[in-house]
Structure 1
């Protein structure tokens, strides 16, 4: 009987040792996966919140991070947590389940927001380019008008104007930028509506897009007006020179006629003809 009791105790000891080992392994696996998931979430949150003047850098970094997402990071954690739930009491089960739900929600939120974030970065990159181009164009036009007011060489100003706005594909390039800007704005709206993420930021993007479209339209009108002015002034100068030439010719004719009236050697009839020119 003593032997049977010993074997029973030994069997129970082995059982509990095995159970303890399994439970310890489950806890260890759960915490390792928890740490891995939390690290990924921290890095992902940093990636979608990072600010930098170089949008190309942010876009490249964003793509590199989210291009390949290892779903096993989340799924392995959830699986490990569910296995752990079976061996814990109800109080611990609630705590573990809450932790699982919280981290899964964070993961899903980031996964849903990441594509929108990329679109926003692409929108803001184009927006920055458009604003810079339009501001530079406006400065150029204002400078040309100042040069014109100071009566500088109109031909040189017109050459400079055409080189800036006609010869370097300024208009086609800006049209491409404006189409890209509108495309990204539309994609952001569509993506957010599909994920029920419509926000005040999206309204701001719509307003910014409208504002830049108006800015571009006004700039096109100003470019055309300045070009017409630069083209008109040389034409007016040409007309003035032609009229001045006519006046010079008329004055020369008058001078010759006056000289002829003082010539006493010409016949009377010819003298009368000269005098009649002044009547």
Structure 2
């Protein structure tokens, strides 16, 4: 049988070669017997009146059997060699795709993705997928099936169908995965900015409540909120998330999770923005009051 896999077929091939390694030895023995037999026939023919037909027939049958066995041994060795090659190629293609799918599933299931570098590594992985792998798998499977009897081909067909199905599933999910990654990265960035902004608001509010130098507080406020561009960065994150959410729902119309997340974030930012405006109003009321007082 050729269906046991590369190692099993290789073992058969090794045994086959070992057994038929003495073919030349037996061929030389047969040639020697043929020479002896010819000499005997020649001597008998000279003597006359002896029927050599049966002996000649047996000798011919022996030669025919030897030729038949050796020729078929060569054919069988070729089949075994071809089967080993086909099994190797098929298993190699199978391994490459299985390894890629396993890595893809690991990446998709990753929970802690908080840097742009990680997102980029995911992008590179999924964008560099080699479509030829599946083509090679199908081709090597066909080559292998050509080596096998029809009743031994089903496991090969099942393996190819399983890998093709998984391949399509992962590739169809990959764009969604990458969109979610970019969304989560923007979301993480947003929360970090908001955390820093709220920390700054609290610091300035406390300084204001303690009636510290108002000009220093106003200068700090302008530096943080205007020059550093924290507010613009937050708004950029929100716009990016909205765009991703819009694209995502085009791919996955039934999944509104990103839109829900965007709404939550916009509400959160609206609350923080009101705090920023309120603080600025407080800070600028004091100079205005002083100006009015000095009129």
TM range (shorter): 0.7 to 0.9
Taking structure 2 as the reference length, what is the TM-score of the superposition? Answer: 0.71
Residue of 166, 183, 187 corresponding to 1:123? 183
Q: Matched residues in 2 for 1:32 and 1:212: separation? A: 48
Q: Give the 3-state SS of the residue equivalent to 1:166 in structure 2.
A: helix
Going from structure 1 to structure 2, the CA distance change for 1:53 and 1:87 (only over 3 Å counts) comes to: closer
Could you tell me whether the CA contact under 8 Å between 1:145 and 1:226 is conserved in 2? yes
Residue 36 in 1 paired to residue 99 in 2?
A: no
Q: Which residue matches 1:149?
A: 209
Q: Is residue 2:221 matched to residue 1:161?
A: yes
Matched-pair contact (CA < 8 Å) for 1:181–1:209: yes
1:39-78 to 2 correspondences below 5 Å: 39-78=99-138
- In the other structure, the counterpart of 1:138 is 198
**RMSD (Å) for aligned C-alpha atoms:** 2.3
In structure 2, stretches of 5+ residues that fail to align are: 1-59
Pick one of 159, 162, 170 that aligns with 1:102: 162
**Match for residue 228 of structure 1?**
281
Alpha-carbon distance, 1:93 to partner: 2.3
Distance 1:168 1:27 in 2: 63
1:13 aligns with 2:68: no
Which residue number in structure 2 is paired with residue 205 of structure 1? 258
Q: Is the 8 A contact 1:55 1:124 kept in 2?
A: no
Question: How many Å separate the matches in 1 of 2:249 and 2:92?
Answer: 39
Gaps (5+ residues) in structure 1? 243-279
Structure 2 distance, partners of 1:101, 1:77, is 10
Residues 184-241 of structure 1: CA distance to partner in whole angstroms, max 9, x if unpaired? 1222222334xxxx5xxx4332221111111222222221222112111332244445
Contact 1:178 1:213 in 2 (8 A): yes
Q: Which ranges of 4 or more aligned residues in structure 1 deviate by more than 6 Å?
A: none
Determine the C-alpha separation between the residues in 2 that align with 1:138 and 1:191. 36
| Cα 1:169/1:32, change in 2 over 3 Å | closer
> Match for residue 182 of structure 1?
242
Shift of residue 127, structure 1, vs aligned partner: 1.0
Select the residue among 193, 217, 220 that pairs with 2:270: 217
Aligned residue-pair number = 235
| TM-score, normalised relative to structure 1 | 0.75
